[in-house]
Structure 1
Amino acid sequence: MKQTSDTESRKLLSRLQAVMAEAAAGQERLDRITHLIADSMGAEVCSIYLLRDAETLELCATQGLAPEAVHVTRLRLGEGLVGKVARKAQPVNTANAPSEKGFRYMPETGEERFSSFLGVPIQRLGESMGVVVVQSKDEREYSEDEVYALEVVAMVLAEMTELGAFVGEGAALSARHTSPVMFPGATAQEGASMGHVWLHEPRVVVTNPVAEDPAAERIRLNEAVSKLRTDIDQMLTRTAKGDKEQAEVLEAYRMFARSRGWMRRMEEDIERGLSAEAAVEKEQSTARARMETVPDAYLRERLHDLDDLSNRLLRLLTGQGHDTGAELPIDPVLVARNIGPAELLDYGRRLKGVVLEQGSVGSHAAIVARALAIPLVIHAKGITT
């Protein structure tokens, strides 16, 4: 198999962008993409598995496996190597897939001919969407460059999935965010209410994941990071000397904003063909995936800092600020990852309820909610994404 250089990676993303721009149904797009990836990477097989529900992956397109297995082969999260990739949100790269622990043979696919296996998660902001796989008959491990290139492609596939590029028939290709869903959480302030969702921080949508001019994207990234650093320095200057806790948070922000490793990784992603926004979001997705596996509370909090910093940087790059022009509904239920007491007081008693991804019973926001008699649910995982 040929090595995938930065230039080849950009060519692959450029071809991918061309396929996305063509008028085609979701299934046809997926079929073209698997052929394109297999051809570009010199692989004999490329397959895309998408989640049909929260626990089940479905083979939605393939180049190289049996066509009749499409929309027939299904795996539970954690089942087989594909399920393992989705469950752990980490690549699996092996020269001899059948000998790998957890391997599950699916006879209808005809995959017994292929020894090498590389599977990469398709995920967005820590949310699993599926898996992209390449396979070959030769018994070999894929190079670091090849793994990285497929990760970049997977990131673009995640953005396109979110934007509805692959909508078609069947549960796995159904439009996202259109079905009823229940979010379990914990009670921080008792009560019952009904209303319309109001996002405290509207989600930033990356509509241009692929860019053709890396130099221009690096300039955009550096200008945005420079503005971000200036904003943080100004916030630190304005922080009251006695407010030690707030100063410590801002110092952590400043440390991450000046991290050479953070910048280097984003610049490498840009060199491989991603736009500045997509490079930031790729790093953000990686950080969110780590949050799920880090047991140490302090380290999780630092990863949350990096996540928030990425959000700020994305807003600078896209111009998608907090003010979207939408009007607060008459019965707002506030939804946010977290919120400070001052921000909650700004909304006041207009709120019918508050739902947070994070938060705690003893937080300042919970104290304010109790004082205002506003029902508050915390730990509603995934509700903002």
Structure 2
Amino acid sequence: MLHSLRTIVQEVNAARDLHSALDIIVDRVREAMNTQVCSIYLRDTKNDYVLMATKGLRPESVGVVRMRHNEGLVGWVVSREEPINLENAARHPRYQYFPETGEERYQTFLGAPIIHHRQVLGVLVVQQMENRRFDESEEAFLVTMSAQLAGVIAHAEATGMLKAIGHHTQEARFFGVSGAAGVALGTAVVVAPISDLRAVPYEACSDIDAEIRFFNHGLALARDDIKRIGSELKDRLNREEQALFDAYLAMLDDASLGGEVIERIRQGACAAFAWAEVILEHEATFASMKDPYLRERAADLRDLGRRVLSHLQATENETRQYPDNTILISEELTASMLGEVPPGKLAGLVSVQGSSNSHVAILARAMDIPTVMGAVDLPYTRLGQRNIVVDGYRGVVVTDPSEELSRQYQSIVAEEQALVRGLEALKDLPCETLDKHRISLWVNTGLMADVMRSLERGAEGVGLYRTEVPFLLRDRFPSEEEQRQIYREQLKAFHPHPVTMRTLDVGGDKALPYFPIEEANPFLGWRGIRVTLDHPEIFLAQVRAMLKASEKLDNLRIMLPMISSIAELEAAQVLIYRAYHELLEEGFQITLPPIGVMIEVPAAVYQARELAARVDFLSVGSNDLTQYLLAVDRNNARVADLYESLHPAVLRALSDIVSQAHMEGTPVSICGELAGDPGAAMLLVAMGYDVLSMSATNLPKVKSALRAVTLEDAETLLERVKAMPDASGVNHCVQEALRAAGIAKLLRPSINDTLLPSELPNE
């Protein structure tokens, strides 16, 4: 059955549409389980469950038989949300007879729910004449098959492929993680990686004859390529290897293969999408064959498919149109993709892969472009030219929003623009509470694009400069001199204000393409200071570049990431002192900058005082600290609702860090996302944090909040939230405090949740 399951999954994934996939499943499952009937019931817009495919019941009953979620045995499976296995189904009190199916002959019934994100999308049923229960292995097989089918159904619902049973393309919501805050409404433009057969976006074809000519031209170009390569390699290949090129040419000349593609173009699909569909279907057919030789031909077909696709996509990419308010969507966005969009047209970004720490997300924050990363369930290849909402506050993407929901989001955009204009007057005012308690507001940067925006918004320093960004944007390690030039620009731009440069922090979800780190659990693995201490040549070159860049400016601060022990700190300090003395000997006129550590792991929390005694400053990385304290991957959309920055445990840790550091007279800053939240900033000031560092976008909002309260107000709020047992209570208290201070406008914009669709449409 395991082999059968793999084969079925391959065929289903290559199916051209939902109905083809359903027909494959009922046919193959019936065969694999050696039973007489296999049927699939799917939920429609009325929350009825409709017979959508069957092998064994009468074909004319498809689309006719329907039942409520509490009717019949199928309804019983839905209401219980678990498999139902009956030896004599007709005698069960929940049995409901449908004469049009002809099912009276079948005694045994096994039904498994098709569940996606806690929603029962349908039921997969097998029946047989023999009066016996299906055994445990058969039940397990059907449950596994249902789980595989769930993703196919969810994808079909979201892309409007269920119109045949009353479904219509309508708004759907998909979760990711916030890459950059804000809201954007616009038109989706899907950018796919070249030659990836499984990532070709669907585009409608308006001129069928021109598209067919375009397809034939692509075939001709691929044919010429193969002939040229075969000719060039002729003297280096044996006869069997040369035969492969002849086989490729024969497949390109095969009228049936091209005919299938042309037929799909005539049905309205663009050439690239039609070609990819046909190749994937044939590949699945070869892959499922029992003969090893024929199975291997699947790889050859895939290679040929990519060659042709590269020609079809190259021309398409050259002529891609970007409408006003473009929402750029890709499986994995890159900086170069952003650069292709004409200035002024890019409104929002959505990436199926990636995290809030990817360099595209960092670039998006620098450019103030609302972004959602890690939207893993988004059927992105089907979203071209569709209306999209990017909610960067919540990490949510809404497809085909209703007019009412669009109006709500449009009003949020207008409010944001008005708020920004209103806060511009605060730029030159100090950040101090009503009772004159002064707080320093710094910024987090990573690109030169951040600099001007930061200075325009009144930044007093840089609390975190992400030095890994120049490493991420290259295809090799930057040289010491290249790094020096980059760091010098940052230091000069902010002079005389301090610039805190974090040493290279890679690993976890920040991998360098030329320095790959493959680990089963990267967040608990080789990252941050662990990498650079193991590679002192990288660390020393970077520190030397920083020190050289600071010559005669003296506004550098060096910060060490992911410190979890005193031994790591001391090892890093030895290397910094070594680089400093080397440069003095080489004649550079530099001073030793302040050295600090990031508090990001629980071990550092409990050694905060010992660390503070050995450094010039501490800086809390609240993003990672929250992640490790709560055991929640902050880049995983499936557990995003468990990531609570204002969790009582997090607040206690933050408070303890400050008190321990201040016992040693060491200043403490915080440079995570928490510092940029106006309500959370009140709590941090009450705890005693000396510096709050955030994205430039949030700086005016935080300044506005702190200038509207007294230190006593903030301390009173902190005492109240300390008594709260959960994050929801803390959040409520903070929101009420902002309202009481007359600054409710700084709260995250609210949306009427009754207007938001559930994770899947048709709810």
Q: Pick the TM interval, shorter chain.
A: 0.5 to 0.7
Asked if 2 retains the 8 angstrom alpha-carbon contact of 1:345 and 1:368, the reply is no
Rounded Cα–Cα distance in structure 1 between residues aligned with 2:674 and 2:758: 18
Rounded Cα–Cα distance in structure 2 between residues aligned with 1:128 and 1:240: 46
Rounded Cα–Cα distance in structure 1 between residues aligned with 2:152 and 2:6: 13
What per-residue deviation string (whole Å, max 9, x for no partner) do you get for residues 321-355 of structure 1?
Answer: xxxxxxxxxxxxxx96865357576476979xxxx
Rounded Cα–Cα distance in structure 2 between residues aligned with 1:377 and 1:363: 20
CA RMSD of aligned residues (A): 4.5
SS of the counterpart of 2:39?
strand
In structure 2, list runs of 5 or more residues that go unmatched.
174-182, 186-347, 349-369, 380-517, 528-561, 565-599, 609-623, 647-671, 680-696, 699-725, 739-745
Asked if 2 retains the 8 angstrom alpha-carbon contact of 1:47 and 1:134, the reply is yes
> Alpha-carbon deviation of 1:146?
1.0
Does residue 203 of the first structure (1) align with residue 372 of the second (2)?
no
SS of the counterpart of 1:139?
coil
Rounded Cα–Cα distance in structure 1 between residues aligned with 2:133 and 2:90: 14
**1:171 counterpart residue number:** 165
1:62 corresponds to which of 39, 54, 61: 54
2:7 corresponds to which of 3, 14, 19: 14
Which structure has the larger Rg?
Answer: 2
Note closer, same or farther for the CA distance 1:235–1:135 as it changes in structure 2 (3 Å cut).
farther
> Alpha-carbon deviation of 1:76?
1.1
Does residue 42 of the first structure (1) align with residue 34 of the second (2)?
yes
> Alpha-carbon deviation of 1:82?
0.8
SS of the counterpart of 1:129?
strand
Does residue 364 of the first structure (1) align with residue 731 of the second (2)?
yes
> Alpha-carbon deviation of 1:64?
0.7
> Alpha-carbon deviation of 1:66?
1.3
Deviates more, 1:92-101 or 1:35-44: 92-101
Does residue 236 of the first structure (1) align with residue 228 of the second (2)?
no
> Alpha-carbon deviation of 1:363?
3.6
Note closer, same or farther for the CA distance 1:227–1:73 as it changes in structure 2 (3 Å cut).
same
Report how many aligned residue pairs link the two structures: 267
Deviates more, 1:25-34 or 1:115-124: 25-34
> Alpha-carbon deviation of 1:374?
3.6
Asked if 2 retains the 8 angstrom alpha-carbon contact of 1:122 and 1:131, the reply is yes
TM-score by length of 2: 0.30
Identity of aligned residues (%): 26
What per-residue deviation string (whole Å, max 9, x for no partner) do you get for residues 50-99 of structure 1?
Answer: 11126211110000111111001111112211112122221111111122
Asked if 2 retains the 8 angstrom alpha-carbon contact of 1:48 and 1:60, the reply is yes
**2:522 counterpart residue number:** 227
Asked if 2 retains the 8 angstrom alpha-carbon contact of 1:122 and 1:157, the reply is yes
Residue identity opposite 1:14 in structure 2 = T
Note closer, same or farther for the CA distance 1:239–1:365 as it changes in structure 2 (3 Å cut).
farther
Asked if 1 retains the 8 angstrom alpha-carbon contact of 2:38 and 2:54, the reply is yes
Residue identity opposite 2:61 in structure 1 = A
Rounded Cα–Cα distance in structure 2 between residues aligned with 1:237 and 1:54: 54
> Alpha-carbon deviation of 1:201?
6.0
Taking the TM superposition and a 5 Å limit, the aligned residue runs for 1:1-385 are: 8-22=1-15, 24-53=16-45, 55-164=47-156, 167=161, 169-171=163-165, 174=167, 178-180=169-171, 196=185, 202-205=374-377, 225-227=520-522, 230=525, 235-239=601-605, 253=631, 312=636, 340-341=645-646, 343=673, 346=676, 362-364=729-731, 367-368=734-735, 371=738, 372-376=746-750, 383-384=758-759
Rounded Cα–Cα distance in structure 1 between residues aligned with 2:633 and 2:90: 42
TM-score by length of 1: 0.55
> Alpha-carbon deviation of 1:383?
3.7
SS of the counterpart of 1:36?
helix
In structure 1, list runs of 5 or more residues that go unmatched.
1-7, 183-193, 208-222, 254-307, 316-334, 352-358
Rounded Cα–Cα distance in structure 2 between residues aligned with 1:147 and 1:310: 36
Asked if 1 retains the 8 angstrom alpha-carbon contact of 2:117 and 2:759, the reply is no
Residue identity opposite 2:144 in structure 1 = V
SS of the counterpart of 2:50?
strand
Rounded Cα–Cα distance in structure 1 between residues aligned with 2:605 and 2:757: 31
Residue identity opposite 1:59 in structure 2 = L
> Alpha-carbon deviation of 1:237?
2.9
Note closer, same or farther for the CA distance 1:336–1:226 as it changes in structure 2 (3 Å cut).
closer
What per-residue deviation string (whole Å, max 9, x for no partner) do you get for residues 288-336 of structure 1?
Answer: xxxxxxxxxxxxxxxxxxxx66984989xxxxxxxxxxxxxxxxxxx96
Rounded Cα–Cα distance in structure 1 between residues aligned with 2:674 and 2:626: 22
Residue identity opposite 1:179 in structure 2 = Q
**1:191 counterpart residue number:** none
Asked if 2 retains the 8 angstrom alpha-carbon contact of 1:121 and 1:130, the reply is yes
What per-residue deviation string (whole Å, max 9, x for no partner) do you get for residues 254-303 of structure 1?
Answer: xxxxxxxxxxxxxxxxxxxxxxxxxxxxxxxxxxxxxxxxxxxxxxxxxx
Q: Higher RCO, 1 or 2 (CA under 8 Å, sep at least 6)?
A: 1
> Alpha-carbon deviation of 1:206?
9.4
SS of the counterpart of 1:123?
strand
Asked if 1 retains the 8 angstrom alpha-carbon contact of 2:18 and 2:152, the reply is no
> Alpha-carbon deviation of 1:14?
1.4
